[in-house]
Amino acid sequence: MSDRGRTTVVVDGKAISAEIRGGLASQVRRGVEAGLRPPCLAVVLVGDDPASTSYIKGKRRACGRVGIESREIDLAATASEAEVLAAVESLNRDAGVDGILVQLPLPKAVRPERVAAAIDPAKDVDGLHPLNAGRLVAGLPGPRPCTPLGILEILDRHGVALEGRRAVVLGRSAIVGKPVSLMLLERNATVTVCHSRTRDLADRVREAEVLVAAVGRARMVRGDWIRPGAAVIDVGVSVVDGQLVGDVDFEAALGVAGLITPPRGGVGPLTITMLLRNTVEAWRARLGG
Ligand code: GUN
């Protein structure tokens, strides 16, 4: 029997973001009025992947609206790893830069782990430097990856309890799956991480009171995999027939889930907002603002 009688809360990531960005803009304004230079985020783009180009445009616009300066270094798709590392090192040395983000994915010739390790950990607004990843594992403060931060913000703002709850994370990437698993664990959830080799995946997902899907496979989570009343956070972004779809069959989840993020205007705006917040925090730590 389906259990589609329930009202599902559809998360408005734009509204949550607007509120947080308003607070960030005030912090920046106060710092600048007190005589500080504005925060500065530097983005390195290698190649011209259309999705990356469009993300960066969105980031630049979002920075401008809260008073963060943005800089961009564009390298050709044929750039060597050494060239990318040299660009990162020049930004590390630049006292006017607070945050550095190297847009992923990178061309095959450039190893993302080498690039992450080259970024000054104090400017690592993606939270991907091994030192910052280690701080997360150790339970120490440090910059956390933006999408996991956004996920926690959504759950907290909707009053979703985590302590003692069963959370299932689909995907084990360094940027979403692993860090969000650790952050849910830090909040005392009981966390199961599922991946491409997991057996009985549907049964694992059905146990989830909180589900985070971050694999990038269009609509792989069917409606009948969702536990009635679950909080469903869908990070996946795929394009099917020109339409943006998530890892979860959104239409089928409506009426079953207690809360769900939509494919557009769900987690995405929060990821950018958390990037802005990490940049403002790096700026305050650097300048004491
Ligand atoms: N590409 C897609 N999302 C991200 C992100 O959060 N950080 C970086 N560096 N690249 C991305």
Residue 108 is a catalytic residue: no
Task: Indicate the range of 4-8, 89-93, 169-173, 280-284 predicted with least confidence.
Answer: 4-8
Q: In ligand 1, which atom is closest to the CA atom of 146?
A: 6
* Three-state DSSP class for residue 78: coil
* Domain identity same for 253 and 164: yes
* Domain identity same for 246 and 211: yes
Which of the four pLDDT bands, split at 50, 70 and 90, describes residue 6?
confident
Enter the pTM of the model.
0.96
Q: Is residue 94, in this structure, part of any structural domain at all?
A: yes
How far apart CA 194 and CA 169 sit, in angstroms, is 6
* Phi/psi-derived region of residue 219, left when phi > 0, alpha when psi is between -120 and 50, beta in every other case: left
Q: How many domains does the chain have?
A: 2
* Domain identity same for 96 and 169: no
Query: Tens of pLDDT along 17-70?
Result: 999 999 999 999 999 999 999 999 999 999 999 889 989 999 999 999 999 999
* Domain identity same for 193 and 85: no
Instruction: Check if the beta carbon of residue 195 is closer than 8 Å to that of residue 171.
Output: yes
Q: Is residue 21, in this structure, part of any structural domain at all?
A: no
The CATH number of residue 241's host domain is 3.40.50.720
pLDDT at 32: 97
Task: Indicate the range of 67-71, 174-178, 236-240, 273-277 predicted with least confidence.
Answer: 236-240
pLDDT (average), residues 73-82: 97
* Domain identity same for 163 and 250: yes
* Domain identity same for 187 and 263: yes
Q: Which residues contact 32 (CB under 8 A, 6 or more apart)?
A: 38, 67
Which of the four pLDDT bands, split at 50, 70 and 90, describes residue 281?
very high
Query: Which structural domain, as residue segments, surrounds residue 109?
Result: 35-120
Instruction: Check if the beta carbon of residue 161 is closer than 8 Å to that of residue 167.
Output: no
Domain boundary among 120, 155, 184: 120
Q: Is residue 138, in this structure, part of any structural domain at all?
A: no
How far apart CA 286 and CA 95 sit, in angstroms, is 9
Distance from residue 6's CA to the centre of ligand 1 (Å)? 35
Which of the following is catalytic: 27, 98, 124, 126?
A: 126
* Domain identity same for 109 and 201: no
pLDDT at 3: 55
Q: Is residue 108, in this structure, part of any structural domain at all?
A: yes
The CATH number of residue 42's host domain is 3.40.50.10860
Ligand 1 site-directed mutation target among 103, 124, 128, most atoms within 8 Å of CB: 103
Q: Is residue 276, in this structure, part of any structural domain at all?
A: no
Percent of the chain topping pLDDT 70: 99
Residue 103 is a catalytic residue: yes
Q: Is residue 26, in this structure, part of any structural domain at all?
A: no
For the record, the structure tokens of 130 come out as: 């091994």
Q: Is residue 87, in this structure, part of any structural domain at all?
A: yes
Q: Ligand 1 — pocket residues by CB below 6 A? A: 55, 101-104, 126, 146-147, 175, 271
* Domain identity same for 163 and 249: yes
pLDDT at 251: 97
Which of the four pLDDT bands, split at 50, 70 and 90, describes residue 1?
very low
Distance from residue 200's CA to the centre of ligand 1 (Å)? 30
* Domain identity same for 152 and 109: no
For atom 6 of ligand 1, the residue with the nearest CA is 146
pLDDT at 5: 80
Q: In ligand 1, which atom is closest to the CA atom of 105?
A: 1
pLDDT (average), residues 146-167: 98
How far apart CA 187 and CA 234 sit, in angstroms, is 20
Distance from residue 128's CA to the centre of ligand 1 (Å)? 10
Q: 54-60: long-range contacts at Cβ-Cβ below 8 A with a sequence spacing of 24 or more? A: 55/103, 56/103, 58/272, 59/101, 59/272, 59/275
For residue 237, pLDDT over 60 is answered with yes
For residue 2, pLDDT over 80 is answered with no
DSSP string, 107-166: PTTS-HHHHHHHS-GGGBTT--SHHHHHHHHHT------HHHHHHHHHHHHTT---TT-E
